[in-house]
Amino acid sequence: MTYLHNIGAYFLMIVEMFRKPTKWSVMKQLILKDIDDLIIGSLGIVAFIAFFVGGVVTIQTALNIDNPLIPKYLVGFATRQSIILEFAPTFISIVMAGKVGSFITSSIGTMRVTEQIDALEVMGINSLNYLVFPKFISLMLYPFVISIAMFLGILGGMAACVYGGFSSLDDYIVGIQMDFIPFHITYAFIKTFAFAFILATIPSFHGYYMKGGALEVGKASTTAFVWTSVVIILLNYLLTQMLLSA
């Protein structure tokens, strides 16, 4: 019953988040701060992971295509498909669940522990709109992060392929361009928007409704990361089934 109660409370929180909006002059500052914390602050780790994992994907693909009858350009093709379809939207979102999700849960949870949320309610402010809505809006820029991850993943693959001597630059570029389906980009960004919503709301839920003291803030952050990751994986399966198998 606890799971059903939490699911119901989560959807009620989402509805409440859009009610009684905070003044735009205040909300604008909150959104800009969250963009800086959640989006710009994540670019470094995303760029680092994307570049080197793209290189690893290319090396592993090249080492497994050792048949001389298989053309070398398939290395670029396989790298592009892996990064655009799965690595950039899903793997990066799991990483962001740890970085961004923990930050959101701990920041809101600390406000709950120090009774700052109660103070907002006393002042007649819709605390859910004040705290969660700016994070939701700022994470709507999350596809920008994923597009950078796609680019750097393919670039890292190209660097590993050429400097590792697995194939030529021309073959890699031919592979990237071969049989490109534009809908795959659309599919990746649909997933990204869905994951952005999850990244904004589930960690906020665990931070907002936590009980206890400073120790419980850490536990809530861990729980939020686990459930955010689980929902992202399940949603990834459902969206892939709906969008690609039609």
Q: Is-contact 104 210, C-beta < 8 A?
A: no
Question: How many C-beta atoms lie closer than 10 Å to residue 213's C-beta?
Answer: 10
> Which stretches of the chain are assigned E, i.e. beta strand?
none
115: left (phi over 0), alpha (psi -120 to 50) or beta: left
Q: Which residue has the tokens 């198998």?
A: 245
Question: How many C-beta atoms lie closer than 10 Å to residue 175's C-beta?
Answer: 26
Helix, strand or coil for residue 211? coil
* Rounded Cα–Cα distance for residues 138 and 33 (Å): 9
pLDDT tens sequence across 99-154: 999 999 999 998 888 888 888 888 888 888 898 999 999 999 999 999 999 999 99
Domains of the chain, by residue range, sit at 23-244
| Percent of the chain whose pLDDT exceeds 90 | 44
pLDDT tens sequence across 186-244: 999 999 999 999 999 999 999 988 887 778 888 888 999 999 999 999 999 999 999 88
Phi, psi of 10 (to 5 degrees): -65, -45
